[in-house]
Structure 1
């Protein structure tokens, strides 16, 4: 048996440094207070369900990290750490995982946290009625959870899964009270019950969610600096879609934390001393444009390469983001240690783009200059979710639209709400899309680019938007998923990434942006899993 047990004590020094760094410079002399209400303003879409098992998007992760906790945690450098599970062992064949659970944890409804609760949660994720996507895919190789005794859960897998612990560290697989789940989806969506530092007290749709302190909190994760309950009395989680309105509320002291600030607000915060900036890029994929290889015109690799040679995103990235992002040439975010980058594949060359389109038979032009072939225009439908894209990104897409038009593409940008965006993808009504996918570890490559990902999950969502179907790539990803040797795993993922990049199905742009601005509060940190904020150590200042 291969044993894996890590100590939380080694993290204390780095956590202390993070907490110190999050104290605004202009407030160093003020004494942090105990109690009070922290107001958080989010620009992400309001969840339709507060249970992250249902669906599984980032807005759910943001809020649910405050009241639900995962079995394991993860440091910023990618090391898995204990949390609700304090120890684990995996069999030599990789098909059996034994998890030892903490004995001193209770859900906020009084239900004990035990192996039966773990079993119920995995079954909840796998139940088609739950309509899970992210969590469903994360535990797809778990055939059964056996309750050995109260503190020991045995995972039986259908095939080896080297990413299992990474999957179990995510908010979308976090553990909920079995009694809470038993209430049914409607009630559980309104107020999931967990073991976290806060409890969902009230949700007023389209306005705010009120979270109150869990006075019995006893399971601080790897980022926790102190034992015991949070310092704050409550958090009011407000939904403010407009970035300028969020920024004004922060500047006036109406709110203490905002997410999704515009680049100029980030630059201003870093130049001043009243507002603190937390830069916490998400793991998983980079922000990228994916080209739908499953249908015309991008079923032709020459046309995909032509689009990428003409797109020329760098000037827009530099001018629009004011130095707050760095261009990526990798499928994986910079926080992932196994990322592979290849800038040579993404040089701008309009002459080469024109030659490739000529070679592919798109030689005619209509009156607007759009290329044509057999009476069909070179049209690229590009739905853009207004809930997931900041203004700078939308402007970047418009620049790419203009750049590719110069060689004959008609890129039709369609700003739509999140529901309509999901509908367009489900109906295959797109040729290009920007759909960042957040999950822990390089296993995101298998989720996004294995041909299995073209098949929808029970929620109806499918992750392989590039519709890349490559047997050799599938084999590399399957082998990496089954390999526990880290060096061999890294090599397999490196080969897979190179193959993805050379397919010209993606145009990498930059890390998934995850910025927070704080004012009047100290001790705000982000989790090393998917970079969601945690307020267990937060205290109001002044």
Structure 2
């Protein structure tokens, strides 16, 4: 509620949970051919969404908070395109034999932009801040549920303890949601952190204006880039600006007219047009983690009956709708997680077939055999109604149009899909109570452990916990496989366990996979060096712009 970055369909939970990630790994986002990096200048980048009401990635429910804060925040480790962990603020680390304790040795000489030195106490302060009840973390804390505490064993050494083996910890640390903030700044009220975070990164945040922009200036003392970065020392750019332009046509127009140097989410219908423009380039990257999926409530309402869930899944041609609406830019999803996620089960591709006749038989078996005057299925005088929360104003990637097409196809097999309007706050009141039939979102995370967020019993949302298991699935086998995956660092074993989870949840129709979110980045050929972080968001440390 990626990835797939809980809101109703329009907000797609990407704005909250994630409030909801893009082609091939390792692609360069700007054209080659310039003489070389040039220092100075400003790069302006436009995006189609923002972190809702809070910038702080420790507490924000929006995965897009990682894009906005990564320029200012460094992490203990980095993750490359092949899933390998590299040093960053931590120079080395060891894991105890029982995989419950991680010991880190930290880099010397690092300072936060407010002058505070980076040390082991800062690491402890950050991890403790993420899990503190007062932080009310709605994303990051869910990545380290077994966390028990940190122990400072020296100025630059810290031990992190878990209550059980926890193999995904390093990949979680590599994300911006575990970006290290100045311990001095963490002493501020939580609402102050929502407006500005202070880190040790290559850029310093100047101002964040909700629904408009965020601006940064170069950190002149920066000299601790992650291993594998394109250069060392300060960033090339003097300034960086990220603008929020939600309207696709306006954002595209800003790129083609030269008002901005790059944009997120080139409208799929315009990809060929942008690629044909000699001044521009398009780079794609599939996001890891949860695809853009629909999640039926498996515990109440019509979808509590597996046969009804199967009928909805089989009676709608999701793949054809996705291909036609997005002009082939987005791959129809076969699994709840994307092909770029470790542990993805390719055997699921092509397994589900569009079969409206079979869907009709399933509804008959489930007792929805009547038809009312409008053609909707009925049972005991009740119409087969599906309540789907929807905020059209917040829709991105034409998800509102997609939802309307799904609604129309569902009607053909007898479902009355109703979009339940309301404010974000109203929806957030209903979500923990399970007061819905269908929810949609993408959930970006660079690890197969995203399946635990999406389907683990402990992740079912409650009044006390903003979990991501919107299907409200509670399956002992699924919980067991997910638990076993936490116990091992053997990637082959983890992949085997994650495959079992994917097969079970798709077999139970506890998720309707829709499409694989692909980041479509459009940029001027005068903009170079835009990179990618693990969640498939662009990064700007190596970026530079040709000067006129």
**C-alpha distance in 1 between matches for 2:130 and 2:355:** 46
Q: Does 1:23 align with 2:23?
A: no
**C-alpha distance in 1 between matches for 2:474 and 2:57:** 29
> What is the aligned partner in structure 2 of residue 331 from structure 1?
336
**C-alpha distance in 1 between matches for 2:389 and 2:536:** 26
> What is the aligned partner in structure 1 of residue 251 from structure 2?
246
Normalised to the residue count of structure 2, the TM-score between the two structures is: 0.90
CA 1:93–1:29: 2 relative to 1, 3 Å: closer
CA 1:246–1:184: 2 relative to 1, 3 Å: same
Shift of 1:311: 1.4
Kept in 2, the 8 Å contact 1:78–1:336? The answer is: no
> Which residue of the other structure, out of 147, 150, 156, is the alignment partner of 2:155?
150
Q: 1 or 2, which has the higher helix percentage? A: 1
**C-alpha distance in 2 between matches for 1:36 and 1:260:** 24
Segment of structure 1 superposing worse, 296-305 or 256-265: 256-265
> What is the aligned partner in structure 2 of residue 538 from structure 1?
543
Segment of structure 1 superposing worse, 300-309 or 38-47: 38-47
Shift of 1:59: 2.3
> Which residue of the other structure, out of 474, 484, 501, is the alignment partner of 1:496?
501
Q: Does 1:310 align with 2:332?
A: no
> What is the aligned partner in structure 2 of residue 510 from structure 1?
515
> What is the aligned partner in structure 2 of residue 184 from structure 1?
189
> What is the aligned partner in structure 2 of residue 476 from structure 1?
481
Shift of 1:326: 1.5
**C-alpha distance in 2 between matches for 1:158 and 1:312:** 44
CA 1:386–1:173: 2 relative to 1, 3 Å: farther
**C-alpha distance in 1 between matches for 2:397 and 2:343:** 31
> What is the aligned partner in structure 2 of residue 364 from structure 1?
370
Segment of structure 1 superposing worse, 380-389 or 239-248: 380-389
CA 1:487–1:337: 2 relative to 1, 3 Å: same
Q: Does 1:259 align with 2:288?
A: no
CA 1:232–1:295: 2 relative to 1, 3 Å: same
CA 1:286–1:301: 2 relative to 1, 3 Å: same
**C-alpha distance in 2 between matches for 1:406 and 1:365:** 12
> What is the aligned partner in structure 2 of residue 395 from structure 1?
401
> Which residue of the other structure, out of 214, 217, 220, is the alignment partner of 1:212?
217
Kept in 2, the 8 Å contact 1:450–1:474? The answer is: yes
> What is the aligned partner in structure 1 of residue 78 from structure 2?
73
Segment of structure 1 superposing worse, 310-319 or 346-355: 310-319
> Which residue of the other structure, out of 353, 372, 380, is the alignment partner of 1:374?
380
**C-alpha distance in 2 between matches for 1:473 and 1:315:** 30
> What is the aligned partner in structure 2 of residue 444 from structure 1?
450
SS in 2 for 1:48: coil
Equivalent pairs, count: 522
Kept in 2, the 8 Å contact 1:77–1:335? The answer is: no
> What is the aligned partner in structure 2 of residue 406 from structure 1?
412
Shift of 1:229: 0.6
SS in 2 for 1:311: coil
**C-alpha distance in 2 between matches for 1:29 and 1:72:** 31
Kept in 1, the 8 Å contact 2:165–2:486? The answer is: yes
Shift of 1:104: 2.6
Q: Deviations over 1:64-96 (max 9, x none)?
A: 111012211111121222211121111111111
Kept in 2, the 8 Å contact 1:284–1:441? The answer is: yes
Kept in 2, the 8 Å contact 1:39–1:238? The answer is: yes
> What is the aligned partner in structure 1 of residue 236 from structure 2?
231
Shift of 1:455: 3.7
**C-alpha distance in 2 between matches for 1:56 and 1:199:** 22
SS in 2 for 1:425: helix
**C-alpha distance in 2 between matches for 1:224 and 1:387:** 38
**C-alpha distance in 1 between matches for 2:152 and 2:460:** 34
**C-alpha distance in 2 between matches for 1:240 and 1:53:** 25
Segment of structure 1 superposing worse, 337-346 or 129-138: 337-346
SS in 2 for 1:286: strand
Shift of 1:32: 5.5
Alignment gaps of 5+ in structure 1: 1-16
> Which residue of the other structure, out of 344, 348, 352, is the alignment partner of 2:354?
348
**C-alpha distance in 2 between matches for 1:467 and 1:334:** 24
Segment of structure 1 superposing worse, 295-304 or 400-409: 400-409
Q: Deviations over 1:249-306 (max 9, x none)?
A: 1111111121122102222222332112121222111111111101111111111000
> What is the aligned partner in structure 1 of residue 14 from structure 2?
none
Shift of 1:355: 0.5
Q: Does 1:426 align with 2:432?
A: yes
Kept in 1, the 8 Å contact 2:291–2:514? The answer is: yes
Segment of structure 1 superposing worse, 196-205 or 337-346: 337-346
Q: Deviations over 1:153-189 (max 9, x none)?
A: 1011101111111111111111101001112223222
Q: Deviations over 1:99-148 (max 9, x none)?
A: 11111311111111111101000110011111102111112211010001
**C-alpha distance in 2 between matches for 1:486 and 1:189:** 37
Q: Deviations over 1:335-388 (max 9, x none)?
A: 113101313542111111010011011112221111112232211112235476
Alignment gaps of 5+ in structure 2: 1-24
Kept in 2, the 8 Å contact 1:383–1:424? The answer is: no
**C-alpha distance in 2 between matches for 1:31 and 1:388:** 40
**C-alpha distance in 1 between matches for 2:241 and 2:534:** 23
Shift of 1:391: 4.7
Segment of structure 1 superposing worse, 494-503 or 50-59: 50-59
